[in-house]
Every structure is written in structure tokens, then in C-alpha cells.
């Protein structure tokens, strides 16, 4: 069975600074990888996905993520954070054609 670890529970970053969120997965084959964002009391919005091909993927809102097979990682980055990026971020892995497995999430706080 696949699993996802997000080592950072909470990250605080200054507005305009860069952001990197870590994600490690466990799965026997090449997984489908996703990053979702969730604002308080809301559902999940897909930021970006990796299925195959180029290991650096671009998403919405200026986010990008890099798939590193050797490290079983799929870290999310943004060069310059805006106050509106404050939210909870979830990494997810898809396999077996139907079920997504999520990490516990990283809460991002943006200070002025």
C-alpha cells in the first residue's frame, strides 16, 4: 500500500520569501503525485500533478513541484509567497486506479 509523509506540520514564511514544502512517498512503482491546497473550511483545490515525463511540473498560482525518484520525493515550491497562500497543503499519491492516499498536511502561515 502506498503512503505519504509530510515532515513539516507547520511552516511560517514572510510575504515575498520563497516556500518549499516537503513530501515523501512510499510506493512500489511510479505513482501519480498531486499537491492540493485547502483553505479553512473549504474543499481541496488541485495545484499540480505528476503522471510521467518532465520531472519538474508547473501548477496554478505560481507553484511548481519536482519529482525525484531516487529520493521518493515530490517537493512543492513557490519563489515568492503572497499572503493569500496561507492555507493547508496536502501531498497525495494515487495508485490502484482509484484511491488517493494523502499526507497529514502542512499548514503555511504568511507573515507581513
Partner 1 sequence: DTGVSQDPRHKITKRGQNVTFRCDPISEHNRLYWYRQTLGQGPEFLTYFQNEAQLEKSRLLSDRFSAERPKGSFSTLEIQRTEQGDSAMYLCASSLAGGAAANEQFFGPGTRLTVL
Q: Which residues bind partner 1 (CB under 8 A)?
A: 4, 32, 34, 36, 41-46, 49, 51, 90, 92, 94-95, 97-105
How far apart CA 45 and CA 90 sit, in angstroms, is 10
Output the smallest distance, CB 64 to partner 1, in A. 18
For partner 1, the closer of residues 58 and 80 by Cβ is 58
Nearer to partner 1, 18 or 39 (CB): 39
What is the nearest approach in angstroms of partner 1 to the Cβ of residue 59? 13
Q: Which of 26, 107, 34, 42 is nearest to 65 (CA)?
A: 34
The minimum distance between CB 45 and partner 1, in angstroms, equals 8
* DSSP assignments along 74-100, one per residue: EEEEESS--GGG-EEEEEEEEETTTEE
The length of the chain, given as a count of residues: 112
- In the complex with partner 1, the residue whose CB is nearer, 31 or 78, is 31
Nearer CB in complex with partner 1: 5/18? 5
The three-class DSSP label of residue 62 is helix
How is the chain split among helix, strand and coil, in percent rounded to 5? 10, 55, 40
- Minimum separation from the CB atom of position 102 to partner 1 (A): 3
Amino acid at each position: 500500500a502506498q503512503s505519504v509523509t509530510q515532515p513539516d506540520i507547520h511552516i511560517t514564511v514572510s510575504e515575498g520569501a520563497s516556500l518549499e514544502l516537503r513530501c515523501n512517498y512510499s510506493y512500489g512503482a511510479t505513482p501519480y503525485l498531486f499537491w492540493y491546497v485547502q483553505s479553512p473550511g473549504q474543499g481541496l483545490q488541485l495545484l499540480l500533478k505528476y503522471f510521467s515525463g518532465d520531472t519538474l511540473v508547473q501548477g496554478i498560482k505560481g507553484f511548481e513541484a519536482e519529482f525525484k525518484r531516487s529520493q521518493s520525493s515530490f517537493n512543492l515550491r513557490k519563489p515568492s509567497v503572497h499572503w493569500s497562500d496561507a492555507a493547508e497543503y496536502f501531498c497525495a499519491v494515487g495508485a490502484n486506479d482509484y484511491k488517493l492516499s494523502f499526507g497529514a498536511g502542512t499548514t503555511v502561515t504568511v507573515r507581513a
